[in-house]
Amino acid sequence: LNSRNNGLLRLNADLSTHKAMRMVAVTATQIPGDVILGPSYQTKNGGKFALIATETNLAGGEGVMVATIDLGGFFATLIRDAIPAGLNVRLIERDNEAQADTLYKPIIGSLDPPANASLTKIFRITRGQAKWNLHWDIMPHYRNGPADNSGTLVQFGGSALTLIIVAVLGYYWFQTSRFRQMVNERTAELSRNSMLVQLTMDTIDQGFAVWNADRRLVIWSKKCFEFWYEPQKILRLGMPMSALLKHLAINHAFGPGDPDEIVTRELERSAAAGERSNETFTMPGNRQIHVRRFPLENGGHVAVYTDVTENRRATSDLEHIRDGLEERVRDRTEELREAKDAANFANQTKSEFLANMSHELRTPLNAIIGFTNAIQRKIGGETTPKQDEYLEDIETSAKQLLSIINDILDLSKFESKSVQPIRHKVNVQKMFENVKMLMLNRLSRKDIQLEMSINEEISHLYVDERMVKQILVNLISNAVKFSDSGSTVHVMCAQEDGNIAISITDHGIGINEADMAKALTPFGQVDSALTRSRDGSGLGLPLSKALVEVHHGTLTVNSTPGVGTNVTIRFPNIS
């Protein structure tokens, strides 16, 4: 039940490699039911031990149960507690196979008796493989000096002590019987637990193998048979790793080469990798097997074998899919880049075309307006009332067309980012009065009031005055256009979160939220019965937004159908 892990008896040790153990084990199987005393042996640190063994039948399997006797400790206690003064005890072992000069080997004491010994009596102990001579040396001071009956006393005393040693062996036999019962019970329990462990391991879709510190096989699962090239005929408990490696080498698991050389190489490689390592090897049919090793506390390791063929194949497929997707993304990105370049080129071409066409159209329109004014002033002679009516229609249409062309030209310039504001200090009150004067005719035609309110703290703006006037005219014109006669348009200028905010509010038809984005798009007129009845190019809001943004400002629109619209522009307060 207990042993020193660094001694001869240790877990998973191959006892047949030790001569003394092999001799006592063989004898115990030949003489069942008896306690066999085996030959002595000496440990590396000088300790002297002997072996005792008995044949056992544990959990349905034949075997040998072995224990060790510390001869040094046993005789030290014997000499101290049981041998009277004047007697010296020596234990000499006989080796019938040795040479004549080495036939006897001292175990306890020396080979020869002390020089002053009066008499020596020898008793032989032969039990199993033990071939011991127990020497009793009678010293001069034994019982106050030699006497005629000293030899008789020693003979009887030595015989008695020899019987004590034999009785000790009998005691060991009794303890062994008791121990056998305990081991049977413990073995049965371990067998049940081992069966559960084995069943559990065999149901898992992985291979498990436990190797001890001596690289001998302790336990394995059935799944290992697949990964070890079906080694059932050679597989056994305690099998050295070299035997399994040779089986694998013969089955070409490591490629071509001499099996013995491969075993040596693989053992060295495994030792260099350590007990904590992992690797992947390839079996026939391109099966990929991953092996991971986990060290055990008392030496050795657990090896876990996993078939990762499908995982590797899936990973490879995913990599191919990923590469294909990346290539498609690259191709699509290139297509989008080309499409973007084409769109930019088309937009630039459009802007240049509109700018050129606007310039080409403005020249004849200005001539039409000029000649119309000349005819209205009777420079070429008198006109009839009907002609005056026609001339007024021509002038109105020409001016409207010129206004649209100017808006297109301005918007084209902003889209090409060729226009930057020329900022200077502008008087806000004066700018608002000029805008109101420009709007008087349009306001009077629809009978709409324009109310302007400026916060007293605001006196100047640092902006491009022409652009801001155009913004205000566009936004107020929109408010007037979509308001009913008799209503009022409100314009307010105030400070707001560090900005200068100018808001234009009307009580007209309003804009649906779904149409808001369209209203801010060039030429994006909101298509409804009410809006289509009113003139306009749909450039007022987009152009105003562009003019505000070149000032690093913002334009926001809030509108409710049937209630009205509020447009607010915000400029950074630059003084």
Q: What is the pLDDT of residues 136-172, one digit of tens each?
A: 888 887 766 654 454 554 555 555 555 566 556 555 5
Output the six-digit token pair for 82.
């049981």
CB 548 within 8 A of CB 463: no
The predicted pLDDT at position 532 comes to 41
What gap in Å lies between CA 569 and CA 555, rounded to an integer?
Answer: 5
| Cα 373 to Cα 96, 189, 369, distances in angstroms | 150, 121, 6
Top-ranked range on mean pLDDT: pick from 15-19, 279-283, 556-560? 556-560
Q: What is the pLDDT of residues 77-94, one digit of tens each?
A: 877 877 778 888 888 888
Closest CA to 501 of 491, 514, 516, 490: 491
CB 489 within 8 A of CB 450: yes
Work out the pLDDT band at 529, boundaries 50, 70, 90.
very low
- Residue 492: pLDDT over 90: yes
Of 47-51, 305-309, 348-352, 375-379, the poorest mean pLDDT is in 348-352
The predicted pLDDT at position 427 comes to 92
The alpha-helical segments, DSSP class H, found in 82-149 are none
The predicted pLDDT at position 318 comes to 84
Collect all residues with Cβ–Cβ distance below 8 Å to 225 and sequence separation of at least 6. 231, 232
Q: What is the pLDDT of residues 319-343, one digit of tens each?
A: 888 888 888 888 898 989 888 888 8
**N-to-C CA span, the chain:** 97
Work out the pLDDT band at 530, boundaries 50, 70, 90.
very low
Output the six-digit token pair for 548.
């505000």
- What average pLDDT does the chain have? 78
Q: What is the pLDDT of residues 23-77, one digit of tens each?
A: 888 888 887 777 777 788 887 777 888 888 888 766 556 778 888 888 888 888 8
- Confirm whether pTM is higher than 0.85: no
- Residue 199: pLDDT over 90: no
- Residue 1: pLDDT over 60: no
- Residue 566: pLDDT over 90: yes
The predicted pLDDT at position 570 comes to 93
The predicted pLDDT at position 314 comes to 81
Q: What is the pLDDT of residues 397-442, one digit of tens each?
A: 777 677 667 666 666 666 655 567 888 999 999 999 988 888 888 8
- Residue 533: pLDDT over 50: no
Output the six-digit token pair for 345.
């080129």
The predicted pLDDT at position 527 comes to 47
Question: Are β-strands 488-496 and 449-454 bridged in parallel, bridged antiparallel, or unpaired?
Answer: parallel
Work out the pLDDT band at 488, boundaries 50, 70, 90.
very high
Collect all residues with Cβ–Cβ distance below 8 Å to 186 and sequence separation of at least 6. 1
